[in-house]
Amino acid sequence: MSIVSVRAALQTQLNNMTPALATAWEGVKYDPVDGTPYQAVYVMPSVENPTMGDDYHRLIGIFKINLFYPTMVGTATAEARAELIKTTFARGTSLTSGGITVRIEKTPEIMQGRADGDRWMIPINIRWFAGVH
């Protein structure tokens, strides 16, 4: 159940951000509202085995957040939200859920924005890890 705890820790941190933003969660139907910004989130896990002969392993991955803002209004509002996410998930941040501590490994990467249908999309990669015994 460790990936469940990792997902909960990351999503809770995102969900507690102010101001709130509509969110398309993985595995949940979401219909964007015309003219309204939203974010789509994904937990992309992998695993490392840094030791032999025991049950220890390290979950690693990317918490992917794609921001979608209406086009024709400029990029400033979307970029401000991206910077807020970068601050909220600052390098070294520790998040705990279900007995698992998730650490943010690197400064979040705000990627190049691009048009996506009637939206401007900015992808953000947040690299994380969690030791599991």
Q: The pTM is what? A: 0.92
Contacts of 31 (CB under 8 A, 6+ apart): none
Q: How confident is the model at residue 90 (pLDDT cuts 50, 70, 90)?
A: very high
The pLDDT mean for the chain works out to 93
- Tell me the CATH number at 72: 3.30.2000.20
Half-sphere exposure at residue 123, Cβ-oriented, CA atoms within 13 angstroms: 10
Strand-pairing partners, residue 39, are 23, 67
- pLDDT given for residue 133 in this prediction: 67
- Total domains in the chain come to 1
What angle, 0 to 180 degrees and rounded to 10, lies between the N-to-C axes of helices 2-15 and 76-88?
Answer: 130
Strand-pairing partners, residue 42, are 64
Average pLDDT over residues 18-36: 96
Q: Are 64 and 42 in contact (CB under 8 A)?
A: yes
- pLDDT given for residue 57 in this prediction: 81
- pLDDT given for residue 47 in this prediction: 85
Average pLDDT over residues 87-106: 97
pLDDT digits (tens, 9 = 90+) for 68-87: 999 988 899 999 999 999 99
> Is the pLDDT confidence value at 32 over 90?
yes
pLDDT digits (tens, 9 = 90+) for 42-68: 999 998 877 777 777 889 999 999 999
Query: Residue 85's domain spans which residues?
Result: 2-132
